[in-house]
Amino acid sequence: MKRWTFLFVMLLVAGWPRTVPVWSHEGPPFPIIEGASVGPYVVAVWTDPDIGTGTFFVVMQPAEGQDFIEPSLVEVAVQPVSGRLPWASYPAEPKRSRSGVSYFTEVAFDQGEFWHVRIRIEGPQGGGVLESEVEATPDGTIGPIGLLVYVLPFLAVGFLWLKAFLRRREYEQQTAASGS
Protein backbone atom coordinates (compact mmCIF):
# COMPACT_ATOMS: atom_id res chain seq x y z
CA MET A 1 0.00 0.00 0.00
CA LYS A 2 2.87 2.38 0.74
CA ARG A 3 4.24 1.97 -2.81
CA TRP A 4 0.95 3.11 -4.36
CA THR A 5 0.81 6.09 -2.02
CA PHE A 6 4.37 7.02 -2.98
CA LEU A 7 3.57 6.61 -6.69
CA PHE A 8 0.43 8.74 -6.36
CA VAL A 9 2.30 11.52 -4.51
CA MET A 10 5.09 11.51 -7.11
CA LEU A 11 2.61 11.74 -9.99
CA LEU A 12 0.73 14.52 -8.19
CA VAL A 13 3.91 16.53 -7.61
CA ALA A 14 5.11 16.00 -11.20
CA GLY A 15 1.76 17.05 -12.64
CA TRP A 16 1.02 19.96 -10.31
CA PRO A 17 0.47 23.11 -12.36
CA ARG A 18 3.25 25.64 -12.03
CA THR A 19 2.23 29.20 -11.30
CA VAL A 20 5.74 30.66 -11.27
CA PRO A 21 6.74 32.21 -14.62
CA VAL A 22 9.73 30.58 -16.26
CA TRP A 23 12.16 32.63 -18.31
CA SER A 24 14.09 30.67 -20.91
CA HIS A 25 17.28 31.54 -22.60
CA GLU A 26 18.01 30.18 -26.06
CA GLY A 27 21.69 30.95 -26.21
CA PRO A 28 24.26 33.50 -25.23
CA PRO A 29 24.88 36.69 -27.17
CA PHE A 30 28.09 36.79 -29.17
CA PRO A 31 30.41 39.66 -30.10
CA ILE A 32 30.28 41.24 -33.56
CA ILE A 33 32.59 44.17 -32.73
CA GLU A 34 35.26 44.24 -30.03
CA GLY A 35 37.68 46.92 -28.90
CA ALA A 36 36.63 49.54 -31.47
CA SER A 37 37.55 53.15 -30.75
CA VAL A 38 34.71 55.61 -31.25
CA GLY A 39 35.49 59.12 -30.03
CA PRO A 40 36.50 58.86 -26.36
CA TYR A 41 35.04 55.34 -26.02
CA VAL A 42 36.22 51.77 -26.48
CA VAL A 43 33.20 49.84 -27.73
CA ALA A 44 32.18 46.20 -27.97
CA VAL A 45 28.89 45.14 -29.54
CA TRP A 46 27.26 41.83 -28.58
CA THR A 47 24.11 40.44 -30.16
CA ASP A 48 21.62 37.59 -30.11
CA PRO A 49 19.97 38.09 -33.54
CA ASP A 50 16.88 35.89 -33.21
CA ILE A 51 14.21 36.05 -35.88
CA GLY A 52 11.36 38.05 -34.38
CA THR A 53 13.18 39.97 -31.66
CA GLY A 54 16.95 40.21 -31.62
CA THR A 55 18.92 41.86 -28.85
CA PHE A 56 21.96 44.13 -29.00
CA PHE A 57 24.31 45.12 -26.19
CA VAL A 58 26.68 48.04 -26.79
CA VAL A 59 29.32 47.92 -24.06
CA MET A 60 31.25 51.16 -23.64
CA GLN A 61 34.29 52.02 -21.58
CA PRO A 62 36.38 55.18 -21.54
CA ALA A 63 39.47 55.20 -23.72
CA GLU A 64 42.72 55.00 -21.77
CA GLY A 65 43.37 58.17 -19.83
CA GLN A 66 39.82 59.46 -20.37
CA ASP A 67 36.99 59.96 -17.91
CA PHE A 68 33.75 58.30 -18.86
CA ILE A 69 31.12 60.79 -19.98
CA GLU A 70 27.84 59.22 -21.02
CA PRO A 71 27.03 59.62 -24.69
CA SER A 72 23.90 61.55 -25.59
CA LEU A 73 22.84 58.94 -28.17
CA VAL A 74 23.44 55.26 -28.79
CA GLU A 75 21.40 53.91 -31.66
CA VAL A 76 21.33 50.54 -33.43
CA ALA A 77 20.07 50.49 -37.02
CA VAL A 78 19.52 47.41 -39.18
CA GLN A 79 18.71 46.73 -42.83
CA PRO A 80 18.58 43.46 -44.77
CA VAL A 81 21.65 42.99 -46.98
CA SER A 82 19.23 42.35 -49.86
CA GLY A 83 17.92 45.91 -49.48
CA ARG A 84 14.28 44.76 -49.45
CA LEU A 85 13.56 47.00 -46.42
CA PRO A 86 14.83 50.48 -45.49
CA TRP A 87 17.05 51.06 -42.47
CA ALA A 88 15.22 50.75 -39.14
CA SER A 89 16.72 52.54 -36.12
CA TYR A 90 16.33 51.58 -32.47
CA PRO A 91 17.52 53.75 -29.55
CA ALA A 92 19.53 51.86 -26.95
CA GLU A 93 18.83 52.34 -23.25
CA PRO A 94 21.68 52.59 -20.73
CA LYS A 95 22.30 49.86 -18.16
CA ARG A 96 24.94 50.72 -15.55
CA SER A 97 27.87 48.33 -15.10
CA ARG A 98 31.03 48.33 -13.00
CA SER A 99 33.14 50.10 -15.60
CA GLY A 100 31.30 52.32 -18.01
CA VAL A 101 27.81 51.69 -19.30
CA SER A 102 26.14 49.00 -21.36
CA TYR A 103 23.38 49.98 -23.74
CA PHE A 104 20.60 47.55 -24.60
CA THR A 105 17.99 47.46 -27.34
CA GLU A 106 15.69 44.97 -29.03
CA VAL A 107 15.54 44.87 -32.82
CA ALA A 108 12.89 43.38 -35.11
CA PHE A 109 14.19 40.77 -37.58
CA ASP A 110 11.35 39.53 -39.79
CA GLN A 111 13.33 36.89 -41.73
CA GLY A 112 16.34 34.70 -41.37
CA GLU A 113 18.93 36.39 -43.57
CA PHE A 114 22.01 38.57 -43.35
CA TRP A 115 21.48 42.10 -42.02
CA HIS A 116 23.66 45.23 -42.05
CA VAL A 117 24.13 46.65 -38.57
CA ARG A 118 25.06 50.27 -37.88
CA ILE A 119 25.77 51.53 -34.37
CA ARG A 120 25.77 55.32 -34.04
CA ILE A 121 27.24 56.94 -30.94
CA GLU A 122 27.10 60.67 -30.22
CA GLY A 123 28.39 62.44 -27.15
CA PRO A 124 29.76 65.75 -25.90
CA GLN A 125 33.34 64.59 -26.56
CA GLY A 126 32.65 63.11 -30.00
CA GLY A 127 31.31 59.92 -31.44
CA GLY A 128 31.11 57.93 -34.62
CA VAL A 129 29.58 55.01 -36.46
CA LEU A 130 30.43 51.30 -36.34
CA GLU A 131 29.24 48.85 -38.98
CA SER A 132 28.97 45.08 -39.13
CA GLU A 133 26.72 42.28 -40.40
CA VAL A 134 24.78 39.55 -38.61
CA GLU A 135 22.64 36.65 -39.68
CA ALA A 136 19.19 36.49 -38.08
CA THR A 137 18.51 32.91 -37.03
CA PRO A 138 15.62 31.02 -35.42
CA ASP A 139 15.45 31.52 -31.66
CA GLY A 140 16.15 27.88 -30.81
CA THR A 141 12.62 26.88 -29.88
CA ILE A 142 11.03 24.15 -31.94
CA GLY A 143 7.43 24.80 -30.99
CA PRO A 144 4.92 22.27 -29.65
CA ILE A 145 6.87 19.33 -31.05
CA GLY A 146 9.70 20.38 -28.73
CA LEU A 147 7.67 19.33 -25.70
CA LEU A 148 7.36 15.83 -27.12
CA VAL A 149 11.05 15.65 -28.00
CA TYR A 150 12.16 16.84 -24.57
CA VAL A 151 9.70 14.77 -22.52
CA LEU A 152 10.23 11.50 -24.44
CA PRO A 153 13.30 10.35 -22.43
CA PHE A 154 11.46 10.93 -19.16
CA LEU A 155 8.44 9.00 -20.38
CA ALA A 156 10.71 6.13 -21.48
CA VAL A 157 12.39 5.97 -18.05
CA GLY A 158 8.98 6.11 -16.35
CA PHE A 159 7.67 3.31 -18.57
CA LEU A 160 10.69 1.10 -17.78
CA TRP A 161 10.35 1.83 -14.06
CA LEU A 162 6.63 0.95 -14.14
CA LYS A 163 7.33 -2.24 -16.10
CA ALA A 164 9.99 -3.32 -13.58
CA PHE A 165 7.66 -2.47 -10.69
CA LEU A 166 4.83 -4.59 -12.14
CA ARG A 167 7.15 -7.54 -12.89
CA ARG A 168 8.53 -7.46 -9.38
CA ARG A 169 5.01 -7.38 -7.96
CA GLU A 170 4.00 -10.32 -10.16
CA TYR A 171 7.12 -12.23 -9.05
CA GLU A 172 6.35 -11.54 -5.37
CA GLN A 173 2.76 -12.75 -5.84
CA GLN A 174 3.95 -15.95 -7.54
CA THR A 175 6.53 -16.56 -4.81
CA ALA A 176 3.91 -15.98 -2.11
CA ALA A 177 1.45 -18.33 -3.88
CA SER A 178 4.01 -21.12 -4.36
CA GLY A 179 5.40 -20.72 -0.84
CA SER A 180 1.97 -21.12 0.83
pLDDT in tens, 126-165: 889 999 999 998 876 666 777 778 888 999 999 999 999 9
Host domain of residue 104:
30-135
Q: Is 42 within the bounds of a domain?
A: yes
Q: At residue 85, does pLDDT exceed 90?
A: yes
Q: Is 154 within the bounds of a domain?
A: no
In tens, the pLDDT along 90-128 reads: 999 998 767 568 999 999 999 999 999 999 999 888 889
Q: Is 116 within the bounds of a domain?
A: yes
Q: Is 39 within the bounds of a domain?
A: yes
Residue among 90, 88, 63, 87 at smallest CA distance from 74 = 90
Q: Is 148 within the bounds of a domain?
A: no
More confident residue, 163 or 63: 163
In tens, the pLDDT along 22-31 reads: 333 456 889 9
Q: Is 1 within the bounds of a domain?
A: no
pLDDT of 115 reads 96
pLDDT of 16 reads 55
pLDDT of 80 reads 96
Q: Is 2 within the bounds of a domain?
A: no
Domain CATH for 76: 2.60.40.2480
Q: At residue 66, does pLDDT exceed 90?
A: no
How would residue 21 be classed by pLDDT, with cut points 50, 70 and 90? very low
In tens, the pLDDT along 35-61 reads: 999 989 999 999 999 999 999 999 998
Contacting residues for 77 by C-beta, under 8 A, at least 6 apart: 87, 88, 89, 90, 117, 118, 119, 120
pLDDT of 72 reads 92
On the 0-12 / 13-18 / 19+ scale of CB atoms within 10 A, 23 is exposed
Q: Is 18 within the bounds of a domain?
A: no
Total domains in the chain come to 1
